[in-house]
Amino acid sequence: MLLLILKRIGLGLITLFIVSLITFVGVEVLPGDACTTYLEREAYGAALDACIKRLGLDVPAYERYLDWASNVVRGDFGYSLSGEMPINEVLGPRVKNSLVLASVSILIGIPLAIVLGIITALWRDKLPDIMISTITIFSMTIPEFISATLLILIVAIWLGWLPGIVIIPSDATFYELLSNIILPVVAISMIMTAHMARMVRSSVIQVMASDYVQMAILKGVPYWKMVFRHVLPNALLPAINVVALTIAWLLGGVVVTEVVFNYPGLGRLVIESISNRDLPVVQALAIILASIYVGINLIADLMTLMLNPRLKSLQIRK
Amino acid sequence: MESNLITEDKQKNKLEKAFEILKTMASKPSGLIGLTIVLFHIVLALISPYIAPYDYKAISPNTMLLAPSAEHWFGTDSLGRDVFTRTILGGRTALTVTFFGSLIALLWGGLLGIFCGLVGGKIDDVVMRVVDAFLSIPWILAMLLIVSLLGTSTEVLIPALGFFYGKGIVRVARAATHDVIAKDFIVSARARGHSNMSIIWNEIIPNVRDAILVEGAMRWSWMLLGFSSLSFLGFGVSPPTPDWGLMISNARGLMSFAYWSVIAPIVGLSSLIIGINLTADAFAKALGIDRSTKAPV
């Protein structure tokens, strides 16, 4: 068991290492280096020399990678070109803002998805299922920027209930954030909930068709007792992994949503740093976002392992 | 002579089979709706240059932000361009880019996946590690990086989209190959002395094709989503190309008093994505493949 956990963590670290290599090599191989890209037409003479000196572009690439990687491991991402300050200082408030947005969305989204998934599964092909399933299909297929734009158009412009665009500095306090994130949270959790509800639905349907549930029905176990004692624990377990993958996949959607609502999080920083051609920040973001992805998957793997006694014994036998 | 007959027979069978799959797909309302929408968009994309009433890039200060009327069915945008013209031409851009992108994704993802599933061992391990690593970089970051370094043009966008949406197909193709490879007919083909290429072509591909095609159909809708998101963020096709994502992002700032120029592309893009999704779902069901428990990775 412990060995298995260590192995999973090891694989995650290897993945991160490859990601760092890919981003580093990608920036190296593609035309232009950090300095010429950043300075664009002013990339000559003293300015270029100074920039090259500052970023250490005059040393060989592998040395730079080792240098950069060892700093990243110690939690130092280097200097931002456009902000002229340590990347850590740029990242700090952004990470916090995105965390607030993401955790509020997840806190609303996961319970809602479980409830909706169960309802649609238990009333399969009946009116509640048809209605909820149609809505979930719509909200999971329509691109984030469209649902966000429509939310602004309907709620903020036509109805005038909420401000459409978030106007807060990136170092806003927690309470300032909370009052401003209603629409972004709705936009993100809508898509997330739809994806997860569909998975919970099919998982519950699968378990409902299994032999032991049929047995419970034949034995005369009361319907709701059967649902809560026998169906749900077995149905929600396999959904954990899929939910984790979905959350990780939605990172890209969060970027778009943050841009639409002008929300000062990591996502908008991605766009800003790429528009400013600030490659050191882009590299840092790639590592951070990939770590989030790997981390979420790792947690999901471990949770499934711990919650599933069958898998545990299986691994011991191996 | 006889072999000729057999191949002819096979061809006919294939056509019949394809027709039957279409029939199964259309037998359910959701599949029928999906097919209709996709077909409508494809036909519209093919004929749009001939039926477009205005020039899509003709800027005119006299016709700025006009409300929908008999002359301008969907109104005009902030530069005085006809929204109807740009909306129907936008479908052409979206379908062309994502069609060729999906084709590239299917080809390289499918072939690499089959190769990995076939050889197994160390090579397979290493390749899958790299694919996993690519999967863990958010697609949007990777796409933005490529586009910002290489420039926004369809020659860059199509291969880049094809590459990033193909990595998920590698997994599916590999898993499907794994399922097939242990079966008796592969073993007997080996025993008959068939070469690896012939086994791939005659035994494996026919058996994994369905799974890969279904995955490709799903990827198509995600790629459309990714492509229009890029355009929306200003990193997709460059103006004045008529493109839905670009139109929405341009019209968004003015939608408090000119909502028509944002509604038309929204309806176009949403309907196409929903149509492709419904079609892909129906396609999967007609082939007997269950995708409902899969994560969208």
Dump pLDDT digits (tens) for B187-221: 888 888 888 788 888 888 888 888 888 888 888 88
| Residue A12: inside a domain | no
Name the phi and psi angles at B234, rounded to 5: 90, 15
| Residue A96: inside a domain | yes
Based on the structure, what is the number of domains in chain B? 1
Is A277 within 8 Å of B138 when comparing Cβ atoms?
Answer: no
Is B295 within 8 Å of A285 when comparing Cβ atoms?
Answer: no
pLDDT value at position B291? 60
| Residue A262: inside a domain | yes
Query: Which chain A residues touch B171 with a CB distance below 8 Å?
Result: none
Nearest Cβ partner for B255 among A144, A157, A199: A157
CA Rg, chain B, in Å?
22
Query: Which chain A residues touch B34 with a CB distance below 8 Å?
Result: none
Q: How far is CA A201 from CA A70, A239, B143, B218, in A?
A: 45, 10, 33, 20
Is B130 within 8 Å of A195 when comparing Cβ atoms?
Answer: no
| Residue A284: inside a domain | yes
| Residue B229: inside a domain | yes
Q: Domain span at residue B145?
A: 44-287
Is B129 within 8 Å of A286 when comparing Cβ atoms?
Answer: no
Nearest Cβ partner for A277 among B148, B262, B273: B148
Nearest Cβ partner for A143 among B148, B225, B235: B225
Is A294 within 8 Å of B129 when comparing Cβ atoms?
Answer: no
Nearest Cβ partner for B221 among A141, A252, A297: A141
Q: Identify the residue with better confidence: A39 or B184.
A: B184
Best CA proximity match to B293, nearest among A111, A5, A187, A121: A121
Is A145 within 8 Å of B229 when comparing Cβ atoms?
Answer: yes
pLDDT value at position A317? 41
Based on the structure, what is the number of domains in chain A? 1
Q: What is the mean pLDDT of residues B273-288?
A: 85
Mutating which of A98, A144, A149, A204 best tests the B interface, going by the most B Cβ atoms within 10 A? A149
Average pLDDT, chain A: 77
Query: Which chain A residues touch B296 with a CB distance below 8 Å?
Result: 195, 245-246, 249
Contact B48, B93 (CB under 8 A): no
For residue A39 the two structure tokens come to 């300075």
Nearest Cβ partner for B137 among A19, A145, A152: A19
Q: Domain span at residue A266?
A: 92-317
| Residue B236: inside a domain | yes
Q: How many other CB atoms are there within 10 angstroms of residue B112's CB atom?
A: 18
| Residue A230: inside a domain | yes
| Residue A77: inside a domain | no
First to last CA, chain A: 10
CA distance A227 to chain B (A): 20
CATH of the domain at B81: 1.10.3720.10
Q: Comparing A34-38, A90-94, A134-138, A146-150, which segment has the lowest mean pLDDT?
A: A34-38
Is A15 within 8 Å of B249 when comparing Cβ atoms?
Answer: no
| Residue B15: inside a domain | no
Quick check: A179 pLDDT over 80?
no
User: Which residues on neighbouring strands pair with residue A79, listed in sequence order?
Assistant: A86
CATH of the domain at A161: 1.10.3720.10
Name the phi and psi angles at A86, rounded to 5: -55, 140
| Residue A313: inside a domain | yes
Quick check: A128 pLDDT over 80?
yes
Residue with tokens 């191949």: B7
Quick check: A46 pLDDT over 70?
no
Q: Is residue B262 exposed (0-12), middle (13-18) or buried (19+ Cβ within 10 Å)?
A: buried
Q: Identify the residue with better confidence: A180 or A144.
A: A144
- pTM here is 0.81
Q: Identify the residue with better confidence: A23 or B283.
A: B283
